[in-house]
Amino acid sequence: MKRAVQIIVFLCVISVVNAYGNTDRWLSMEANTVDTESNKWYFTSISQSESSPFYRLYGDSLIAEIWDNVRQWYAIRGDSNLYLGEESRFHKAFSKNLLPTSAFGNIWLAGEELSVEKGHYYHTLELGQEGSYKCSLPVRGVMILEDNCIIPAVAITETREFKSHIGRDSLSAESSVSKDITRTRWFVEGDILPVAMQTTKKESIRGKEISSKTYTYLLDHTELPINEETVRGIQIQQALDNADITYENNVIRINGFFPSDTRLKLYISNFQGSLFHLEPIEVMAEGKNTEIRLPSLSSGQYIVTISADTPTDRKIIVNI
């Protein structure tokens, strides 16, 4: 009875938000696989996709992700984000214990939970999916596109590992298929819907992998919601990446083409991470060669970090 009430409430919410409009997004471009372990994500060999992932935002309470003929449901409820379940033409499976998720931005909901989903296959057979659901903390970095466009972004990875059971006795433990589905989504500031998504789907039987495929999609970069502040951040990051930073006679020299009114910071630390000095650097004009005399320190090796409060810094090792 309780399960029936949950489903009725869920369907009522869908019907209500359908009546009040929605927002759609297609990740219409396909790219080569991205290294999600990095914080510099290179989207290369971009081409038009024939099977675009599709997002629909219903009001401010529900998000649907549709890809590979499966619709994933997520709820946004005040300070909580929840993974609800999935459905396709052939099946529906919704979580018995609603799963907190950071997949759409809430950093406090990262972690791992046991996942038990119940539903139907072909409307008549009972369907169960049991396993785990985990979501990562956001990783800040930059998306790098083929035309040398650099976009500050945040990546969040969501992983579902489960076994599916159709009917009470139709699949034995030995023959049931285990699935491992990992999704990484990339977000830009101020946008609740992702601008890129990468999915890896693995299937195995008795621990032996029988298939593994990875798909990577992104929004056409001409549609990316980039504001003036984001553009400036991109310009500063590019300037910092390309700057010539040298050390000689206790002086750090920075020569780069920074936008006007760029503010940098210099940090000095040892290899154990202890901080010895922090110094804001004067506002830099374009093309200006800036010199910073380092303070007196004990002889040894140090790490000098130049930061612009952008996703990546510059570091050099100096011998004092």
Same domain, 273 and 300: yes
Last residue of a domain, one of 188, 223, 258: 223
Same domain, 213 and 267: no
| pLDDT per residue rounded down to tens, the chain (320 residues) | 434 333 333 333 333 333 334 589 999 999 999 999 988 899 999 999 988 999 999 887 899 999 999 999 999 876 778 999 999 999 999 998 889 999 887 777 889 999 999 999 888 888 888 999 999 988 888 888 877 677 888 999 999 999 988 875 444 444 577 899 999 999 988 788 999 999 999 988 877 888 899 999 999 977 876 666 767 777 888 888 888 999 998 899 998 888 888 889 999 998 888 889 999 987 656 656 788 889 888 888 999 999 988 878 899 999 88
Last residue of a domain, one of 223, 238, 257: 223
Same domain, 62 and 90: yes
Output the domain CATH number for residue 291. Answer: 2.60.40.3080
Same domain, 293 and 157: no
Please tell me the predicted confidence (pLDDT) of residue 287.
59
Please tell me the predicted confidence (pLDDT) of residue 22.
54
280's CB contacts (< 8 A; 6+ apart) are: 263, 264, 265, 266
Q: Which two tokens stand for residue 228?
A: 């003036």
Q: Output b/e per residue, 187-215; b: 16+ Cβ within 10 A.
A: bbeeeebbbbbbbbebeeeeeeeeeeeeb
Structural domain containing residue 299: 228-319
SS3 track for the chain: CHHHHHHHHHHHHHHHHHHCCEEEEECCEEECCCCCCCCEEEECCCEECCCCCEEEEECCCEEEEEECCEEEEEEEECCEEEEEEEECCCEEEEEEEEEECCCCCCHHHCEEEEEEEEEEECCCEEEEEEEEEEECCCEEEEEEECCCCEEEEEEEEEEEEEEEEECCCCCCCCCCEEEEEEEEEEECCCCCCCCEEEEEEEEEECCEEEEEEEEEEECCHHHCCCCHHHHHHHHHHHHHHHCEEEEECCEEEEECCCCCCEEEEEEEECCCCCEEEEEEEEEECCCCEEEEECCCCCCCEEEEEEECCCCCCEEEEEEC
Last residue of a domain, one of 184, 200, 223: 223
Closest to 183 (Cα-Cα) out of 121, 247, 104, 75? 104
Same domain, 174 and 255: no
Same domain, 184 and 259: no
- Span 114-159, pLDDT tens digits: 999 999 988 888 888 899 999 998 888 888 887 767 788 899 999 9
Query: How many Cβ atoms sit within 10 Å of the Cβ of residue 121?
Result: 19
Q: Which two tokens stand for residue 247?
A: 């050390």
Please tell me the predicted confidence (pLDDT) of residue 28.
95
Please tell me the predicted confidence (pLDDT) of residue 5.
34
Same domain, 148 and 275: no
pTM: 0.68
Please tell me the predicted confidence (pLDDT) of residue 86.
94
Same domain, 218 and 252: no
Check if the beta carbon of residue 214 is closer than 8 Å to that of residue 181: no
Same domain, 42 and 57: yes
Same domain, 191 and 278: no
Between CA 83 and CA 290 the distance in angstroms is: 50
Same domain, 216 and 246: no
Please tell me the predicted confidence (pLDDT) of residue 11.
37
Number of domains in the chain: 2
Same domain, 14 and 160: yes
